[in-house]
Amino acid sequence: MTRIAIVGASLAGAHAARAIRAAGFDDEVLVVGDENHLPYDRPPLSKQFLTTNADDGHEYEKLKLRVTKEPGALDLRWRIGAKASQLDLDERALVLATGERIDFDGLVVATGSRARLLPHLLVPVEVAGRVCSLRTIDDAVRIKQLLPSDPGRLVICGAGFIGLEVASSARELGHDVSVVDVAATPLSRVMNREAAMAVADLHRGHGVDLRLGVGLSTVATDGKGSRVATVATDGKGSRVAVGLSDGSELTADLVVIGVGASPDVDWLEGNGFDLSNGLKVDPTCAAAPTVVAAGDVARWPNELYDGQYMRIEQWDNAVEMGAFAGTRLVAALNGESGYASFAPVPWFWSDQFGQKIQLAGLVTPDSQIVIGKYGDDRVVELFSNQRGVLVGALAWNRPRHAILARQLIADRASLDDAVEKLAG
């Protein structure tokens, strides 16, 4: 019997499993996941999940992917709560943290990412319970439990999409919110300055205290050279104090760290893979002849963007790449050749204070045209490369324009043609 192992009971892993069965593979498919949950959708964790008053167990059932709601439909074997600790590529075997060894014929790497921590943030034990990250459903449940029933105060470190969505949700619940980021603008990695300032205005207009260009401060060493952030109790155990690098101090009932994520690749070490910023794969998602990767963990050359290497932490990419990688793996096991390349248009959306922000492709500094006006809540900004080809579009409350722009990017339309089609 042939066995495919999928490491990562994730969105990408679930869609890989579905594609493997759709491709006609009818032997064993084993899905290994380190969380104690079957695969679920993560985007609502920073939005609806935090704001609903419903039972968390019921909300989790709503988040579960269809493949997990009908576990017999794809005839999958699940190993939930089991972490892969090592890969023996030569022997085609996984080693779990328990020491169990699992042989495989084909492997899908879909372990995603872990919430990134601030390397200097050493939190005193007495307040560690009030400092959270948000990556998993367990994290979201913990945040909900720590949020005070009466309006309280949150400090969010990181003005990326997760931090800003949590800020929006917390304000909806009536809490005071401060967002701290070392960058001069929110979303500095994915937006140009004009769009980022519009996001800043949106949050300030809804009462969010934005502290930009500052970080958490360090005030002492532990005698071994490690820095200690100024997080301490207020003497009553009810709040924590957070010192900032500009000398100011904030108090909070809860501190949420949202400074990005790191690919979960440690278990792949020792097999000759390039693991710098994720598992490096070829244009067909393969890292080895019968090893593929998908989702946040994978870094691949996107031929739509002249082979630029990308590692994308987005829902849509996990779905598409998981399906592509699963199909690619079955083809390899069947001895087929001439594989297609995975060349999608990156796609992302965020909901904040009732505004829908959608991003197709990439933001570039080369050339850009704004259709509409920031501040009017309905705008599209287009980005091209140096050859005048459309490579990205940012749409604010323009969902139809966002979908059309995504197709124009895939068709390699010129910036001029895109403006003509989207100006209406």
pLDDT of the residue at 223: 43
Cβ(372)–Cβ(395) below 8 Å: no
Rounded CA Rg of the chain: 23
Whole-number Å distance between alpha carbons of 153 and 259? 19
Q: What DSSP string describes 220-284?
A: EE-SSS-EEE-EEE-SSSS-EEEEBTTS-EEEESEEEE---EEE--GGGTTSS---TTSEE--TT
Using the structure block, give the residue that is written with the tokens 């704001």.
Answer: 51
Whole-number Å distance between alpha carbons of 321 and 348? 14
Strand 209-212 versus strand 176-181 pairing type: parallel
Q: Give the chain's largest Cα–Cα span.
A: 67
pLDDT of the residue at 87: 98
pLDDT (tens, 9 = 90+) of the chain, 424 residues, equals 899 999 999 999 999 999 999 999 999 999 999 999 999 999 999 999 999 876 667 778 888 887 776 656 789 999 999 999 999 999 999 999 999 999 999 999 999 999 887 655 555 545 567 788 999 999 999 999 888 888 899 999 999 999 999 999 999 999 999 999 999 999 988 888 888 999 999 999 999 999 999 987 643 334 444 444 555 555 444 677 888 888 888 888 888 999 889 999 999 999 999 999 999 999 999 999 999 999 999 999 999 999 999 999 999 999 999 999 999 999 999 999 999 999 999 999 999 999 999 999 998 876 788 898 887 878 999 999 999 999 999 999 999 999 999 999 999 999 999 999 998 6
pLDDT of the residue at 66: 79
pLDDT of the residue at 70: 65
pLDDT of the residue at 225: 41
CA distances from 304 to 25, 389, 394 (A): 30, 11, 18
Of 76, 73, 71, 65, nearest in space to 31 by CA: 76
Which DSSP helix (H) or strand (E) runs through 384?
strand 379-384
pLDDT of the residue at 228: 45
pLDDT of the residue at 219: 33
Burial 395-408 (b: 16+ CB within 10 A, else e): bbbbeebbebbbeb
pLDDT of the residue at 12: 98
Whole-number Å distance between alpha carbons of 15 and 411? 25
Residues 345, 262, 224, CA angle at the centre, nearest 5°? 155
pLDDT of the residue at 411: 97
pLDDT of the residue at 424: 65
pLDDT of the residue at 222: 40
pLDDT of the residue at 61: 85
- pTM for this prediction: 0.92
Cβ(197)–Cβ(185) below 8 Å: yes
Name all domains of the chain by residue range, CATH numbers in brackets: 3-114+261-333 (3.50.50.60), 125-257 (3.50.50.60), 354-422 (3.30.390.30)
Q: Return the structure tokens found at 55.
A: 């039972």
What are the residues facing 32 on neighbouring strands?
Answer: 7, 79
- The residues near 401 (Cβ < 8 Å, ≥ 6 apart) are 371, 380, 393, 395, 422
pLDDT of the residue at 138: 93
Cβ(163)–Cβ(157) below 8 Å: yes
Whole-number Å distance between alpha carbons of 25 and 29? 9
Q: Return the structure tokens found at 68.
A: 């997990």
CB atoms within 10 A of CB 98: 9
CA distances from 197 to 186, 222, 396 (A): 7, 39, 13
Whole-number Å distance between alpha carbons of 293 and 160? 26
